[in-house]
Structure 1
Amino acid sequence: MPEYKVFYFNVKALGEPLRFLLSYGNLPFEDVRISRNDWPALKPSMPMNQLPVLEVDGKRVNQSLACCRFIAKTIGSLAGNDDWENLQIDTVADTVNDFRLKIAVVSYEPDDEVKEKKLQTLNNEVIPFYLEKLEDIARENGGYLSLGRLTWADFYFAGIIEYLNYLAKQDLTANHENLRKVVDNVINQSQVQEWIAKRPQTDI
């Protein structure tokens, strides 16, 4: 069996979908948590000088969505059965990632005055738009984001939702029962429950 390592900071955020997927697939991995103090020295050794990074038998790759897709294909059951099904999963996962980026760019805006204006648009237009669209998708798929069954897109959403809630300063699934089902369908998996029980406790 390949040896897996996940390199990330001591937070859930973009590292958690990888940890969820590896746990679900019963693929043992080393959870390498890098402190902010140690990061500058380690940064040059990471692809594109960024995290998270997945290491497989000593080979390191970046890009969390691509890594999620790879793990899902390794597991088998969380990927599509053909190119069209994989496209359906990719499309919704990319949409969730777009949503993340639109929230993050406002959250990390350094200029307070600019940030306040952007927050109004984010909270009044962007977040409601994406939540409505994603809720419709989850409803149509019976509590999943694609194919009417558990796929890696669900793991990506469930893995980053606490981080998104933190950035948006609200519970994004509070009034969206089908998106809540998406999260529950992932975190109620026994292997994921085992991971949640033993993982380091962090706010995000």
Structure 2
Amino acid sequence: MPVYKLHYFNITALGEPIRFLFHYGGIEFEDIRYNSEDWPAVKNNMPFGQMPVLEIDGKKIVQSSAICRYLAKQVGLAGDNDFESMQIDSVLDSFNDLRLKISAALYEPNEEIKAEKRKTVVEETLPYYLGKLDEIAKENDGHLALKKLTWADLYIAAFQTYFNFALKGDFKDFEGYPNLQKVVSNALANENVKKWVESRPETIC
């Protein structure tokens, strides 16, 4: 069994889908967390100076989606063929388009522009993307692809906490999107994932 070490900040965000996949599969890993004060000292040791980074037997791999795809294959949550994998990737790439728009508003330094971006996200972007994703979940019986549990379901469930933080006051637990709530429920029905969510460290997001 490889030795896994996950390097990320002490938050959920991009690190949490990786943690979900590890726990789903019952795979041991070292969850190494950094705060903002630690980061400058270790940044140059990370490929491309960013995280999350998954270290496998000393080899550091960057890019969260690539890491998730790898782990999904290890735990049986990837597609059974290229066409199935493409369907999973398609819905997750769409979800990540939404995530990037939310992050752009959250981290905008100009307060006036930030308010405008958030207004657009809340009134236009969020309903559009979540509406589409909710339709997909309905078509797939409470899943995001293939009418069965895949890493797409774990990925979106893992991001619920971050979305609650980033859109506080305008979003909570996919309210108004019952099929996406079912996706989250199906992901959390796994005992290992459920135990992780109940026992994981408290973070600001």
TM range (shorter): over 0.9
Which residues in structure 2 correspond to 1:193-204 (within 5 Å)?
193-204=194-205
Give the conservation status (yes or no) of the 8 Å contact 1:89–1:153: yes
Equivalence for 1:113: 112
Q: How many residues align?
A: 203
Equivalence for 2:20: 20
Runs of 5+ in structure 2 lacking a partner?
none
Identity of aligned residues (%): 49
Give the conservation status (yes or no) of the 8 Å contact 1:2–1:56: yes
Equivalence for 1:180: 181
Q: Return structure 1 stretches of 4+ with deviation > 4 angstroms.
A: none
Equivalence for 2:142: 143
> TM-score, length-normalised on structure 2?
0.95
CA drift of 1:10 comes to 0.9
Residues in 1 aligned to 2:70 and 2:52: alpha-carbon distance in whole angstroms = 14
Amino acid at match of 2:97: D
CA drift of 1:196 comes to 2.2
Give the conservation status (yes or no) of the 8 Å contact 1:131–1:172: no
Residues in 2 aligned to 1:180 and 1:98: alpha-carbon distance in whole angstroms = 20
Residues in 1 aligned to 2:143 and 2:204: alpha-carbon distance in whole angstroms = 26
Amino acid at match of 2:73: K
* C-alpha RMSD of matched pairs (Å): 1.1
CA drift of 1:192 comes to 0.7
Q: Are 1:122 and 2:116 counterparts?
A: no
Residues in 1 aligned to 2:86 and 2:63: alpha-carbon distance in whole angstroms = 18
Amino acid at match of 2:115: E
Give the conservation status (yes or no) of the 8 Å contact 1:158–1:182: yes
Equivalence for 1:157: 156
Equivalence for 2:37: 37
CA drift of 1:172 comes to 5.3
Residues in 1 aligned to 2:196 and 2:174: alpha-carbon distance in whole angstroms = 22
Q: Are 1:103 and 2:102 counterparts?
A: yes
Runs of 5+ in structure 1 lacking a partner?
none
Amino acid at match of 1:118: K
